[in-house]
Amino acid sequence: MYLGIDLGTSEVKLLLMEDNGNVAATTGVALTVSRPKAQWSEQDPGQWWDATCAAIRQLRASHGEALAAVRAIGLSGQMHGAVLLDAGDRVLRPAILWNDGRSHLECAELLEREPRLPEITGNLAMPGFTAPKLAWVRKHEPEIFARTASVLLPKDYLRFKLTGEKVSEMSDAAGTLWLDVGQRDWSDAMLEATGLSRAHMPRLVEGSASSGLLRSEIAQEWGMREDVIVAGGGGDNAASAVGIGATRPGDGFLSLGTSGVLFVVTDRLRANPESAVHAFCHALPGRWHQMSVMLSAASCLAWVTRATGAVSEAALLPEVESLPAEALDAAPLFLPYLSGERTPHNDPHAQGVFFGLGHDTSRAALTYAVLEGVAFGLLDGLDALRAAGTDVTTLSLVGGGARSTYWSQLLADVLDVAIVTHHESSAGAALGAARLAALADGRIEEQVCPRLAVAHRLGPNRERHAALKTRHARFQALYRHLRPVFGHGAQGANEQRG
């Protein structure tokens, strides 16, 4: 048996995987996020550990024999968070999370201190990354910064509790802006730019390697053997890719959740920071991956459902599906930037827009425009990946949006790729963590990480793709014309508040 532990933002999820790869059990315990100020997002690392232990108690009560047979544990988790420990390994402050936006100014300051930042890290400096968070602490909480002896990522804090070892792995470390992503090693220049050194950093291993053994007292408390290996693991998206079976160059997936992520495995570092493409190490040796990220995806559908007074998303979608073809080409355009945008614009001031409304515009037409606009935003991200030398012909679709066959087909038509869905994709990062545990236990990758069985495969409609290509050009032109207005509006609002 193998155990995967996935530390998300809203839940700690545990998954038991049998030796043959089948899922034996899952459980989870909810987490809460603290937002003490605007743009702040924090969690108490102690909550992560308490939730993990509570989930283990649930598994032990229902699957005690299986838990006792676990040979290795794999870890996955939310990326970019900053856990600060003092010289006695005590937590100094709540962890600053990936979706915390307080460090905009520090991003610009980091680039001034180290102009080679995009070249070294393969990425732009954004508030979501870890290094700007530490730059903020250094400036605004100097006493805490001075006492900081170690910096750990969220899942690596759990590892420290499990093993007593301070270790990270390549995929998660790549999201800190302290890693030389091409060399898969800490960058002394980037650490120095933040006032840190290698002494503050955990040891690095590959995600499929052992990072240590479960502490004997934890093994006894959890009802597990004392020689359990703890694998390096992976950041949440890299672990999800391993769980799906996206392990070879060219493999990829599209996550259509609250945000939208397009993930493609590469054989080397393929950076395109100018278009806000993320270039990270994969959780497997000798591989990297690219990600384009849009900040609002399925959340746009939730928004239009509320805005139009529909009973539910499920009730609204059939209205869209009943629209005739001519109504689709006459539908408004929608810019899906309800929370700004990352790839390819890196524009925090971008806003959501409907363009082309008329007296005859129906609720169904508005909703179609939203589905299409999200697909167009993902196409912009895919084009940014292609500009860096990466292309795909098939993408696995995961997340809540994958439940809509209509939206899945629209994505295939817009992106001009085959879209496949999987029954087991909801296991995601926790399954990937369990698979990485099996690899750390000596199992063979080809046997442990097969592609998930395909539930549905949808190929692109070439005729529809041509029509959508014309609308996509108008979509892009609309953003270009409005971008100066977005910036002016944000500036004016700030002046009024001042």
350 phi/psi in degrees, rounded to 5: -60, 150
Where do the DSSP E strands lie in 177-228? 179-180, 185-186, 203-205, 210-213
What string of DSSP letters covers 387-442?
HTT---SEEEEESGGGG-HHHHHHHHHHHTSEEEEETTGGGHHHHHHHHHHHHHTT
Residue with tokens 């006493």: 143
Neighbours of 410 (CB within 10 A): 23
Q: Which of 491, 71, 17, 479 is nearest to 242 (CA)?
A: 17
| Dihedral over Cα of 208, 209, 214, 215: its sign | negative
Residue with tokens 């080679």: 116
Residues 373 and 370: their CA atoms lie apart, in Å, by 5
Catalytic residue among 100, 156, 236, 413: 236
Which helix (H) or strand (E) element contains residue 168? Answer: strand 167-169
Single-letter code of the amino acid located at 199: A
What string of DSSP letters covers 309-373?
T-S-HHHHHHHHHTS-HHHHHTSPEEE--BTBB-TTT-BTT---EEES--TT--HHHHHHHHHHH
Residue with tokens 């899922």: 23
- 236 catalytic residue (yes or no): yes
Instruction: Report whether 488 belongs to an annotated binding site.
Output: no
Q: Parallel, antiparallel, or unpaired: how do β-strands 288-294 and 278-281 relate?
A: antiparallel
Length of the chain equals: 498
| Dihedral over Cα of 362, 363, 365, 370: its sign | positive
Question: How many CA atoms, within 13 angstroms, populate the side-chain half-sphere of residue 203?
Answer: 12
Contact indicator for 51, 208 with CB cutoff of 8 Å: no
Residues 54 and 59: their CA atoms lie apart, in Å, by 9
Tokens representing 219 are 């093994």
Specify which residues 204 forms β-bridges with. Answer: 168
Q: How far is CA 21 from the centre of its chain?
A: 24
Instruction: Report whether 423 belongs to an annotated binding site.
Output: no
Q: Parallel, antiparallel, or unpaired: how do β-strands 179-180 and 185-186 relate?
A: antiparallel
Report, as residue numbers or ranges, the catalytic residues: 236
Binding residues, as ranges, are: 79-80
Binding residues for substrate, as ranges, are: 79-80
